[in-house]
Amino acid sequence: MGMHGASEARPERGMRGGAPLYVEIFIRADVDTVWELTQNPAHHPRWDLRFSGITPEGDVRDGYGYRFRYERSLPGHTIVGTGTALGEKVRPDGTRTSALRFDTTDRLSPLRDGRGYWRYVPTDGGVRFITGYDYLPGFGSAADRILRPLILWMTAWSFDRLRIWAETGVAPEKWPLISALAFWRRKRPRAGRCITVPPARGALADAPSTLATLEAP
């Protein structure tokens, strides 16, 4: 799967102008493995560049889902925010979903209030792992024109690092961010293995119904 160019469909408008982000990858592993590596708060920040720590802080809806505190470490500063997540592990169609809302008041965060989902679609030989999400830009719409493609790349690169972990057992720490420049290492994580153009209906069209009812963090 290659990283796709611009879609011919009319661009979907996001929370403040920018198009919602979409990433999809095929992982040759069983759905229980992918679910564990993505839903476990101890595992999630190990492969996802967008987080350096996730700490659950209590259940929501009588134990259905949880509140959490997240961190993203930067040189000389750590961005801190809060979120809520709701997972559906058993669905009539055999898929699984997870809905998310997050927010931060940190003035150095490029992402403020946001919402999104993960969808797990079991198929022959593996799982289609999909995300769609949107956010209010922290530095305004002009800066977001530069930052949003970078955030999309970070998401896609992280998804491929997750794929390698799920398929081979090689820990994500074996692939630090600097490895993205090691072009001679063919097995390194690459954003280009992901689909990044959403379906014609939009990046958030396949969001689970739980996203609409998920309470703010």
Query: What does each of the 217 residues of the chain score in pLDDT, given as a tens digit?
Result: 444 443 334 445 555 568 999 999 999 999 999 999 999 999 999 999 999 999 999 776 555 678 999 999 999 999 999 999 999 999 989 899 999 999 999 999 999 999 999 999 999 999 999 999 999 999 999 999 999 999 999 999 999 999 999 999 999 999 999 999 999 999 999 999 999 999 999 999 999 999 988 877 8
| Identity of the residue numbered 19 | A
Q: Is residue 52 within 8 Å of 74, Cβ to Cβ?
A: no
| Rounded Cα distance, 210 and 10, in Å | 26
Starting from the edge strand earliest in sequence, which strands make up the sheet with 111-123, in order? 21-27, 126-137, 111-123, 96-103, 77-88, 66-74, 53-59
The residues with which 80 forms a beta bridge, in sequence order, are 71
pTM of the predicted model, to two decimals? 0.90
